[in-house]
Amino acid sequence: MQIWAYQESAAEKKLRALLDKTREKEQAKIAGSKLKQASVTIGKVEPGIAQFSEVLNRPGIEAIPSAVLNPLRDALSRLESYRDVAQALMSNGGVGDALPTNPQISSAIMTGKRAVQLIVNMLAAVAKAMQ
């Protein structure tokens, strides 16, 4: 029994090459877009990471109950994980996990800012009471 192999015609080869090239261009465009989004994500989360870390390292923070500190720690952890995902995507040329959405980033930042405001007020009250 003889099996015949299909031979592509020149036109079919040309068409397949054109489709492959178009697919590669589209994938490069998507990767470029993801790289840009990753850069924007890092730009959004870095200030929050810096601010929240600074607050958690302030002297007297140990006087604040953990129930008040935990939302700030959680927000900081989420922002750090968003930054790590974005950095991994950038190091892989736009290939990787999905980036966090703007509402996810905004939610973490707002949660952290509310906690910071409460903590700063509590630290001020503790400082005033110690005078």
Domain ranges of the chain: 35-130
pTM of the entire predicted model: 0.78
Residue 73: pLDDT band (50, 70, 90) is very high
Residue 129: pLDDT band (50, 70, 90) is confident
In 3D space, the residue among 81, 84, 88, 71 whose CA is nearest the CA of residue 104 turns out to be 81
Quick check: 22 pLDDT over 80? yes
- 93's torsion region: left (phi>0), alpha (psi -120 to 50) or beta? left
